[in-house]
Amino acid sequence: MEQSLSADQLVTYFSTLSELLDLSRRTQPVTPEFSDTDFSNYFMALKPQLDTHRAAGNDINAWHVSGLKRKEVPNSAVLAWWLDPLATHGLGSRVMEAFLDALGQKNAAEFKVALKDDSGNINYRVLVESLPLGEQDNRIDIEVEGPNILLFIEVKIDATEGKQQLKRYQRLLKNKRKMSTQPDKLASGIVYLTVKPRTLTDESVLPVLWTDLAHRFRAVDLPSESILARSLLNQFSDFIDDF
C-alpha cells in the first residue's frame, strides 16, 4: 500500500530542495590549476620511460613498413599465410579457427569441424589467387580446400565488387562442390571480407570485417613459446585495424 506524505512533510521536503538548489547556484566550480610548466615537467619526467619503451622495440610494426599498405593482392597473401596450418608461423590451425569465429557461432562450429578429415586430423590447404576450375576470369583471392571444406574468401579493402562477382563465385562454388566425392558432407561458403559493412542480398555470402578479424587475432590463445609469432600476429592485427 502506498503511503502518502503529510502536509508538514511536504513543506519540509520542498524547503530543503529549495535550499539545495540555491546552494548549487552559489557554489563556484573548482578549476584545477595546471600550468604550462606543470605540463612540461610532466612530459620531461615521462620521456625516459618512452625512450626505454621504444628502445626495447615495442613500437615496431613490421607490416607497416613492409610495403603492403592497402594493396589487396599482397594482403591476401599474408592473410592466407596466417590461415595455412602448415605455414612457417608454426601455429597450426589456431589463426584459421579465429578467422572462422568471425562467421558467427553456428557457421564457425560447422566449418571448424570441417577443417578435420574423417580420421579427425587437421586436413585442409590454403591457396592464393586460386583458379578453382581453371577459369581465368574467376580468380579467387583465397581458397580453403579440404576433404570436408570448401571456402572462398573474397578480400576487399578499397576495390569495389566486380560485375556479378559474387554470383559468379557462387556458381563456381556450386560446380566445384559437385566434383567432391562426398558433396553432402562438404561445408562450403563464400566469405566477403571488407573494411566497412556492406549490404548483401544473398544470405549465403558471409560478411566479415577486417576490424573484427583484428580483434579475434589478438585474442588467439598461443603457446608460451610462440613469442615471435605472437608479436607478429599482434602487429598484423594492429595493421589491419587501421584499414
The pLDDT averaged over each successive group of 10 residues in the chain (243 residues) is: 60 69 64 77 85 86 96 98 97 97 93 94 96 83 96 96 89 92 91 93 90 98 96 97 96
Report d(CA 5, CA 242) in Å as an integer: 60
Residues 6 or more apart whose CB falls under 8 angstroms from that of 240 comprise 75, 210, 211, 213, 214
The pLDDT of residue 4: 59
Report d(CA 175, CA 188) in Å as an integer: 12
The answer to whether the Cα torsion of 50, 240, 72, 178 is positive or negative is positive
Give the three-class secondary structure for 66: coil
Number of other residues whose CB lies within 10 A of the CB of residue 226: 16
Name residue, grid cell 558432407.
185
The pLDDT of residue 58: 86
Cell of 34: 595546471
Report d(CA 120, CA 103) in Å as an integer: 22
**Inter-residue contact 215 to 96 (CB < 8 Å):** no
Cell of 38: 606543470
Residues 6 or more apart whose CB falls under 8 angstroms from that of 72 comprise 141, 155, 156, 157, 158, 159
